Amino acid sequence: MASSHGNTHTEAAKLEQIITEFFYKSLLIILESRSPYVSSRNYSGEQLLSSPSSSSSSSSSVRPRDKWFNLALRECPSALENIDLCRQSSFEPLVVDVILEQKPLDWEPATFSPKRDLVRNLLSKDKNSFFWNSDQEESGSETKSEKIIERWFVQHESRKGRDCNSGSRRSSSNTLCALYKKLILLLRSLYVTVRLLPAYKIFRDLNSSGQIRTLKLVPRVSSLVDSLTRKEEAEMQRFWFTPVETSCGRLCLSVLYRSSISDISSESSTPMSPQFIPDYVGSPLADPLRRFPSLPVSHSSPSSLPFSRRHSWSYDQYKASPPLVSFSPSPTHSESHALVTNPISRRLPPMPLPPEVAIAHKKNTNFDEYCPSPNFSGSPSPSPSPPIHIPGSHLSKALLRCESAPVNIPAPRLANSPALSSKQNVPPSPPLKITKAGTSQTVSNMGAVQAGATIEKLFSFGKEDCRKYSGSGVKVSSNSSQQISFSRSSSRSLQDEFDDSEFPCPFDVEDDDVTDPGSRPESYDRRGHLCDPHEAGFFMTRKSQDAAVGALVRMLKKAPPLRQDSSSSMNFSEASRPETWSNSVQDQNKISEAVTVEHAASSSIASSKFIASKTTADALEELRGYKEIKNLLLSEGSKSFTSANYASGAGYSSKGI
């Protein structure tokens, strides 16, 4: 009797231990799939890497607790905190509420901490209740909404009138083995079920996504909970696991869950509202050499704002002056301003202009960026007056556009291109080569433009142009020319242009290929001289807008012609350059001519290049804009010179198309 009693007691103790461990294991399964940052996902994968797949060898690395019910899971801190509750809940139900908390949008991510999910314990010894909740109040959010999306019930229903400790004669090892086996199956089913329920999707999304979300899953473990309202229960479905009979009762496991939490979870997919991050990836400080996509950024205006604000000098200017882009080659671009503006704003990537420009300037390899963006969908058609009053923003915009343009910058051709009708995709640098008469004047006049740093960028772009401008002695003060050049640039990143080793360094005085044979050799030295200081100070400081514009104009003027548009444009530019330089007059009225000439030249030069990068339709569109601008400008400038330029430019544009 004593032995049997002892055996019974032992078996009762074993039964109690099994039940307790079952409580803990079920709690662990639920919590590790609902508590953020704690998951057994791929836990086995990590273990298997270190140990063979055989169970015998893997058991060596298994913690003793993992062996319970043959289900090795990663430890869950929240489950460990509730282990006492599990022990005490052998005869009391264990209720786990999975709460979906929605924080307000003004939730501070900095204050977010995983510890919030680990709750302060409010242990009531009287009731053996263990209630914990996340300390959301520390987040600073005043209001948050909670919604119970799941409620798990784990309980051992004792048979009335039966005491487990008394031991049933039926309690035998076989019974315990059978019970253990059934509990293994039950826990297997529980493990699969927790991953099939809708809440698991939320858990997975919250865990996997690095975004700061307004939703959070908070498991809440307790023994006594308030019953759900009828409405809540009506919205939920219940899933019963088949109870497992024990010697003194039965173990029941069930769950109340919301089947339609997609409407709730869809809100979680919305990340936090964009916030300005000063040290974002891709910032000038972080990655000045970063390339920017050439895709239109129509939707990214809010996101690009942080980037732009960092260099508000450029971006704001973009926004301020729509007509900038229109100053690309064609002088006839009248209404293309607005059109150009949109593409500019659209295509304005969140790029730190100054550093990139600086880098581009350093490399001086690619004159493409220098070209105004023919990529602008709207044909850049500056109004008659705008060319004169080109604010620096125009230039900035053009600069942004430059980054996208694989611009080829043979200055002479560009200058010769009165082919203002040429595609707007033509590289901008040629247009800045105001080879026409009066371009020098315009260049100098352009100094009044507020391009500022953009002009500096143009210096980096236009190798020959830089030389020319320096040679001409014209102050790079014209924003218009810079604008023109920038407006022609495509949407490619500046960096792309700079990286293009196809074009020699603008400051490479030895490179005569792209320059006119007879072009001012003296200007090379001067250009180099001029460019060097610019280059030096390019990244460091921001010159005055006037000086920058003037430098840009000079650079554009002296930009080598496009390869394709070789002879005619170069000849024309040659012819016009002396005229241009000779007429280096600080005449605001000539800016329009210079602009148009530059547009024509750059368009012709860039046309060949932009063909590859831009569609013909875009080029034609820009060309139309340029034409309109040109027409407007022609009415103001010298008719004879402009018409001549226009004629040549038209020829180049048609050739380029």
**What residues between 225 and 284 interact with another protein by CB under 8 A?**
239, 241-242, 244
Tokens of 527: 């250009």
Q: How far is the CB of 37 from another protein (least distance, A)?
A: 16
- Helix 353-363 to helix 521-538 angle (10° resolution) is 140
Non-local CB neighbours of 186 within 8 Å, separated by 6+ positions: 22, 241, 242, 244, 251, 253
Single-letter amino acid code for the residue at 257 = Y
User: In terms of CB distance, is 73 or 594 closer to another protein?
Assistant: 73
User: In terms of CB distance, is 249 or 430 closer to another protein?
Assistant: 249
Q: Any idea what the Cα angle at residue 561 is, between residues 360 and 433, rounded to 5°? A: 75
User: In terms of CB distance, is 43 or 112 closer to another protein?
Assistant: 43
CA dist 506 and 635 (Å) reads 34
In the list 122, 192, 277, 295, the residue contacting another protein (rule: CB under 8 A) is 192
CA distances from 284 to 289, 292, 398, 538 (A): 8, 12, 19, 14
Q: How far is the CB of 92 from another protein (least distance, A)?
A: 23
Q: How far is the CB of 160 from another protein (least distance, A)?
A: 24
CA distances from 527 to 49, 472, 596 (A): 64, 8, 23
Look up residue 589 and give its DSSP letter. G
Measuring CA to CA, which residue among 165, 187, 211 is closest to residue 15? Answer: 165
Non-local CB neighbours of 55 within 8 Å, separated by 6+ positions: none
User: In terms of CB distance, is 265 or 481 closer to another protein?
Assistant: 265
Q: How far is the CB of 65 from another protein (least distance, A)?
A: 12
In the list 144, 204, 250, 362, the residue contacting another protein (rule: CB under 8 A) is 204
In the list 195, 250, 362, 563, the residue contacting another protein (rule: CB under 8 A) is 195
Non-local CB neighbours of 406 within 8 Å, separated by 6+ positions: 368, 490, 492, 496, 497, 500, 609, 610, 612, 613
CB atoms within 10 A of CB 199: 22
**Binding to another protein by residue 629, rule CB under 8 A?**
no
Q: How far is the CB of 72 from another protein (least distance, A)?
A: 4
Non-local CB neighbours of 583 within 8 Å, separated by 6+ positions: 437, 438, 439, 440, 441, 590
In the list 80, 176, 185, 252, the residue contacting another protein (rule: CB under 8 A) is 185
**What residues between 13 and 72 interact with another protein by CB under 8 A?**
40-45, 47-48, 53-56, 58-59, 62, 66-67, 70-72
Total of residues contacting another protein (CB under 8 A)? 42
CA dist 421 and 400 (Å) reads 22
User: In terms of CB distance, is 37 or 276 closer to another protein?
Assistant: 37
User: In terms of CB distance, is 45 or 210 closer to another protein?
Assistant: 45
User: In terms of CB distance, is 62 or 647 closer to another protein?
Assistant: 62
User: In terms of CB distance, is 70 or 342 closer to another protein?
Assistant: 70
In the list 123, 178, 277, 295, the residue contacting another protein (rule: CB under 8 A) is 178
Q: How far is the CB of 294 from another protein (least distance, A)?
A: 28
The three-class DSSP label of residue 237 is strand
In the list 13, 177, 536, 612, the residue contacting another protein (rule: CB under 8 A) is 177
User: In terms of CB distance, is 9 or 182 closer to another protein?
Assistant: 182
User: In terms of CB distance, is 187 or 446 closer to another protein?
Assistant: 187
Cβ atoms of residues 434 and 484 within 8 Å: no
Q: Which residues bind another protein (CB under 8 A)?
A: 40-45, 47-48, 53-56, 58-59, 62, 66-67, 70-73, 177-178, 181-182, 184-186, 188-189, 191-193, 195-196, 200-201, 204, 239, 241-242, 244
